[in-house]
Amino acid sequence: MAIILYDLCGRDPELRFSPYCWRAKMALAHKNLAYTTVATPFTGIASVEDGASKTVPVINDEGRIIHDSFDIAVHLDEAYPDEPTLFDEEAAVAAARFLEAWAIVTLHPIIMRIIVKDIHDVLGPVDQAYFRPSREARLGRSLEEHQTGADANAEALRAALEPARRTLARHEWLGGRAPRFADYIVFGSLMWLVTIHGGLPLLPDDGVRSWFERCLDLHDGLARSARIAKAA
């Protein structure tokens, strides 16, 4: 029996625009699975499969009702292991590359606004003479102007870390069941901040903070013994 996919539609039932339903359709096609779609307007979702979900996509796979595009993908890989995989090892390398680029373009500019002048202050004189002009040329202003500090940037840092926070709500590590290079990418960015600034401007109950503490415990507490800069 073909899988049934409930697929969001517009006034024109052939207009299918939901990002999540597109993910599910591509995943079903990837697994070479036959499926039929049921055009479902927003206000039709409540009656899909006896109210199984408040959102689509929902699939009915021979009686198994699954909603959420990601959970559907995980289900398909588990239920149809002989079909092409939706998650695999090479993907982890590419995904870590994504994480690395995300850290550079999202996290690092915020951390620079917290610590760039303080980095300068911990350097020796020869390095200071190199660091200041090269960074000021890149930033387009003086280190003193650029560094607005932890209080001014804490909220931006917390907001930027949201994808990590959501991942860590589901997995103990960014690398899944165990720490992997993905963890060390983000951990490295935060150690940069911590060694210079002395602490993490995150709320006490932030899942990123507890994950960071677990990272500090790794490898016999390797990073716990790191030298922290003293205020100049």
The stretch near a second copy (CB under 8 A) out of 58-66, 144-152, 203-211, 217-225 is 217-225
Among 36, 41, 64, 142, binds a second copy (CB under 8 A): 41
Number of residues that bind a second copy (CB under 8 A): 96
User: Pairing mode, if any, of strands 58-61 and 64-67?
Assistant: antiparallel
Nearer to a second copy, 155 or 162 (CB): 162
Among 49, 100, 136, 206, binds a second copy (CB under 8 A): 100
H-type helices in the chain, by residue range?
19-30, 69-79, 89-102, 108-122, 125-139, 143-146, 149-160, 162-168, 181-197, 207-221
Binding mask 151-190 for a second copy (x = CB under 8 A): --------x--xxxxxx--xx-xxxxxxxxxxxxx-xxx-
Residue 57, preceding bond cis, omega within 30 degrees? yes
Owner of token pair 């690092």: 108
Residues 6 or more apart whose Cβ sits within 8 Å of residue 73 = 23, 24, 27, 86, 87
Among 18, 37, 60, 147, binds a second copy (CB under 8 A): 18
The stretch near a second copy (CB under 8 A) out of 138-146, 149-157, 200-208, 218-226 is 218-226
Q: Does 227 bind a second copy (CB under 8 A)?
A: yes
- Smallest gap, in angstroms, from Cβ of residue 226 to a second copy? 7
Nearer to a second copy, 59 or 196 (CB): 196
**161 token code pair:** 């870390």
- Smallest gap, in angstroms, from Cβ of residue 100 to a second copy? 6
Q: Does 26 bind a second copy (CB under 8 A)?
A: yes
Integer Rg of the chain from CA: 23
Centre a 10 Å sphere on the Cβ of residue 45 and count the other Cβ atoms it contains: 19
Q: Does 141 bind a second copy (CB under 8 A)?
A: no
Among 66, 96, 110, 157, binds a second copy (CB under 8 A): 96
Helix (H) or strand (E) holding 36: strand 35-40
Q: Does 80 bind a second copy (CB under 8 A)?
A: no
**24 token code pair:** 């599910």
